[in-house]
Structure 1
Amino acid sequence: MGADIGRRLCEVCKRRGMTQRELASAAGVSVSLIRKLEQGDRATRPRTRRGPPSR
């Protein structure tokens, strides 16, 4: 699953012409987390993958 998420993140960035920094800012996470996800190095918590809770 991790490699699949990483590949999808890379594809989205390329399609939208976004940098990792821009994606991290839009997603409300750190650039470090984006890098780790792209490399398949980190298992994230479900809340991180879904996004912040609705209010």
Structure 2
Amino acid sequence: MKLADYRHEFHFGISRAYYQNGQRWLSERHLTQAAALAPSEEKQRYQYKLAALRLR
């Protein structure tokens, strides 16, 4: 995590791994971090992903 903590793609990948393991709270945490780090044109997509995660 020390190598790419500033990249939104990294946090998105970690979020997916946590989701697959059933650790939804950690998945949401990293998805939120990905949204914060994402360029403005991708922020809305992350907001949709967060909303879908919270509905499950």
Place the TM-score, normalised by the shorter chain, in its bin: 0.3 to 0.5
Higher-RCO chain (CA-CA 8 Å, sequence separation at least 6): 1
For normalisation by structure 2, the TM-score amounts to 0.39
